[in-house]
A and B are shown apart, each in its own frame.
Chain A
Amino acid sequence: MAAPPRHATMLSISNGDKPAQTQAQSQQGTLPQSPGLRVPSNRKTIYDRHLNRSRNAESSRASFAFLFGEMVTYAQRRVTGIQDLEKRLNEQGYPLGLRLLDLLFYRSTSTSSSALSSSSTSSSPPNRPLRIITLLHLIHGPLWRLLFGRAADALEHSVSPDTPNEYMITDNDPLVNTYISVPREMSMLNCAAFVAGIIEGVCDGCGFETKVSAHNQPTDLWPSRTVFLVRFGDAVMEREKVLERSGVK
Chain B
Amino acid sequence: MYNLEFENTIMFLNYTIALSDLGTLSNMGVFSLIIINKAGGLIYQREFQAGLRKLSTNDYLVLAGTFHGVHAITRSITPKIPSVQPPSPATSSPSTTTPAASHSYPNPGVPVTGLDYLETDKFRLTCFQTLTGTKFLLFTDPLTGNVDTIVQKIYELYADFVMKNPFYQIEMPVRCEAFDRHLGAWLRGRT
Contact = CB atoms under 8 A, between A and B. Distances in A.
A180 B177 CA distance: 9
B165 interface: yes
Nearest to A65: B164
A173 to B, nearest CB: 11
Contacts of B161: 179, 181
Interface stretch (A49-57, A66-74, A226-234): A66-74
Interface in B146-191: 160-161, 164-168, 175-179, 181
Nearest to A76: B166
B164 A223 contact: no
Size range of the chain A interface in the assembly: 20 to 34
A8 interface: no
A183 to B, nearest CB: 5
A180 B165 CA distance: 5
Given A179-B178, A180-B178, A181-B178, A70 B166 contact: yes
Interface in A24-82: 62, 65-66, 68-70, 72-73, 76
A84 to B, nearest CB: 16
User: Interface size bucket, B side?
Assistant: 10 to 19
A180 B181 contact: no
A242 interface: no
Contact of B165 (A62, A76, A181, A223): A181
A224 B176 CA distance: 13
A182 interface: yes
A223 B181 contact: yes
A210 B49 CA distance: 50
A69 B166 contact: yes
Contact of B167 (A66, A70, A182, A224): A182
A69 B178 CA distance: 15
29 contacts: A62-B164, A65-B160, A65-B164, A66-B164, A68-B166, A69-B164, A70-B166, A72-B167, A76-B166, A178-B178, A179-B161, A179-B164, A179-B165, A179-B178, A180-B165, A180-B166, A180-B178, A181-B165, A181-B175, A181-B176, A181-B177, A181-B179, A182-B167, A183-B167, A183-B175, A184-B175, A186-B167, A191-B166, A223-B181
Given A69-B165, A191-B166, 17 more contacts: A65-B160, A65-B164, A68-B166, A70-B166, A72-B166, A72-B167, A76-B166, A179-B165, A180-B164, A181-B165, A181-B168, A182-B167, A183-B167, A186-B167, A223-B178, A223-B181, A224-B178
The 3 A-B pairs of least Cβ separation, nearest first, read A179-B164, A72-B166, A69-B166
Interface of A: 62, 65-66, 68-70, 72-73, 76, 178-184, 186, 191, 223-224
